[in-house]
Amino acid sequence: MSSSPNPTPNPNTQTDSDHVTYIKASCLCTSNTFLIPFITSTLPQSTALCHCSSCRHTSGQLAVHCAVAAGAPVAISESEGASVEIPGSGGGGSDTRSTYVPADLSNLSKYNATPAMTRYFCKTCGAYMLYERHPAPDPDSDVSISQSQSQWMVSTGCLERTEGIVKVGSHTFLADTKDGGLSEFYRTLNGVAIPRYAYAQGEGTGSSDATLPLHWKDPRLVRKQQCQQLEKGGSENHEDRLHLHCHCGNVKLYLTRPDQEEAKKEENLWLVPGEQLEGRKHKPARFIAGHCFCASCRLSTGSLVPSFIILPRANVFNAQSTASQPITLSPTSPTRLHNLTQYTSSPLTYREFCATCGATVFYWTKAAKGPFPRDPGSEEAVVVDLAAGLVDEGDGLTLGDSGEDDGRVMGGEGGGAGGEGRGAGGVLCERWIVWHDLMMNIGEAVDKEGARSVGEGASLAVRGQ
Ligand SMILES: [Zn+2]
Ligand SMILES: [Zn+2]
Ligand SMILES: [Zn+2]
């Protein structure tokens, strides 16, 4: 997260009369379950949905949304299981405890994308839960009290409820996406357009407050796409590869182009056949992607809007291996992809995340579920879901470019893992992915208004609006 969500309550300026609202947060496996303190007078918060490259590649999601806590998470005592609103530091009222015990964070793994921020994800199920911004070391100035303590933020997808607590107030770091990313779908909230910032909101001076219009694309991406369309002509290019990586680089994958004949088959719902456009322009065969609002996706990612590409496993390869076979994920497979932690979220159903940086990577199942085919002779899935935020958005942009890379293209904040080879620039990867407007399990969304907005925007996008 490159930006500070607004507003930023300062726990050190609260007075005895401030009330604190505690909201329960938990991950899918529930080994991390605690209360998050919020200063009641700051609620509901209106915070940024951050699209920066660090947030996308550490979470595996298209954007990260957090609420600003008043302090570190608090342990839940045995007698209470739900969120409570109580008088704060003054004590008394309905609060029967004299002290609050800090939550045990020992089942969370830490990842430092930058020295200024520690990110915490569940060691067992991979949920991205907490962000701790460290006090800025500034030896030249008097360290004010407000800078002497960490600022804690919580992933809103882990909260028991968001209504009255936090909502999406703006899009930030859209410049990192090259094509607007999730903001192309998540356009409004309660009928009001969500502000779209190129970088941070209200940070620094001048151009840092610049906004970008709906349908904005990085000019270099537009140029690149025009070239690609001309170069490819009417033929499929089977050398095409789309690169994906987690932030730490321990998981690096590439996708190969879906087979045009397979894509033409109606039963292969997750493939879209290529088509010839006017002139020499051509659209290749592509995969579909969409958003799932089920509790399992939400709590295993920490995201309000978990987004996945649905694709044949046969098209997924380990970029760090010379093997000519696609990746395998079965726990018993000798060629299982390294560096992933596997969590069994329901019988025969698995969630896989980077063991080092916590990025969500795969969701897959061997259970009979939905329209996806099974291979009874194999322990592997035929079709897998791949976290959409891992797409290497910068890939392809710097090739043949005039060298005007602003340093954010490959990995964004803190450098990241970068990428190599060819690919489609831009987070939404239009040359590889068709974004579906079918919202999955929208009834389970914790933020129903936000989920409805994403659905509306996705429908408009599908119609080219
Ligand atoms: Zn967990
Ligand atoms: Zn789901
Ligand atoms: Zn990683």
Confidence at residue 89, expressed as pLDDT on a 0 to 100 scale: 40
Q: Which CATH class is domain 239-397+427-435?
A: mainly beta
- One-letter amino acid of 75: A
> Nearest bound ligand to CA 54?
3
DSSP 157: G
DSSP string of 305-364, one letter each residue: S-EEEEEEGGGEEETT---SSPPB--TT-TTBPTTEEEEEEETTEEEEEETTT--EEEEE
For 223, the 3-state DSSP assignment is helix
Confidence at residue 285, expressed as pLDDT on a 0 to 100 scale: 95
Confidence at residue 431, expressed as pLDDT on a 0 to 100 scale: 87
158: Cβ–Cβ under 8 A, 6 or more apart, which residues? Answer: 25, 26, 27, 127, 129, 299, 302
Please give the distance, rounded to the nearest whole angstrom, from the Cα atom of residue 163 to the centre of ligand 1.
23
Instruction: Give the pair of three-digit tokens for residue 447.
Output: 């933020």
Please give the distance, rounded to the nearest whole angstrom, from the Cα atom of residue 388 to the centre of ligand 2.
13
> Nearest bound ligand to CA 247?
3
Burial 3-21 (b: 16+ CB within 10 A, else e): bbbbeebbbeebeeebbbb
Confidence at residue 77, expressed as pLDDT on a 0 to 100 scale: 77
Instruction: Give the pair of three-digit tokens for residue 428.
Output: 């939404």
Confidence at residue 409, expressed as pLDDT on a 0 to 100 scale: 31
Confidence at residue 110, expressed as pLDDT on a 0 to 100 scale: 98
Taking residue 344's Cβ as centre, other Cβ atoms within 10 Å add up to 12
Please give the distance, rounded to the nearest whole angstrom, from the Cα atom of residue 386 to the centre of ligand 2.
12
For 48, the 3-state DSSP assignment is strand
Please give the distance, rounded to the nearest whole angstrom, from the Cα atom of residue 26 to the centre of ligand 2.
17
Closest CA to 390 of 181, 231, 194, 124: 181
> Nearest bound ligand to CA 126?
1
> Nearest bound ligand to CA 30?
1
> Nearest bound ligand to CA 339?
3
Please give the distance, rounded to the nearest whole angstrom, from the Cα atom of residue 29 to the centre of ligand 1.
4
Task: Burial-class residue 190 by CB neighbours within 10 Å (0-12, 13-18, 19+).
Answer: exposed
User: Can you give the pTM of this predicted structure?
Assistant: 0.85
Q: What are the domain boundaries of the chain?
A: 239-397+427-435
Q: How far apart are CA 120 and CA 31, in angstroms?
A: 13
Q: How far apart are CA 274 and CA 287, in angstroms?
A: 10
> Nearest bound ligand to CA 343?
1
Q: Whole-angstrom distance between the N-terminal and C-terminal Cα of the chain?
A: 30
> Nearest bound ligand to CA 293?
2
Residues measured by CB to lie within 5 Å of ligand 2, the ion: 292, 294, 297
Is the Cβ–Cβ distance between 380 and 335 less than 8 Å?
no
Burial 77-102 (b: 16+ CB within 10 A, else e): eeeeeebebbbbbeeeeebeeeebee
In order along its 465 residues, the chain shows pLDDT tens digits of 554 444 444 444 444 447 999 999 999 999 999 999 999 999 999 999 999 999 999 999 999 999 999 999 999 876 555 555 554 443 333 444 546 799 999 999 999 989 999 999 999 999 999 999 998 766 665 545 445 689 999 999 999 999 999 999 999 999 999 999 999 999 999 999 999 999 988 654 555 579 999 999 998 877 776 666 555 543 444 468 999 999 999 999 999 999 999 999 999 999 999 998 888 778 899 999 999 999 999 999 999 999 999 999 999 999 999 989 999 999 999 999 989 999 999 999 999 999 999 999 999 999 887 788 888 889 999 999 999 999 998 755 543 333 333 333 323 333 333 333 344 579 999 889 999 988 899 999 999 999 999 999 999 999 999
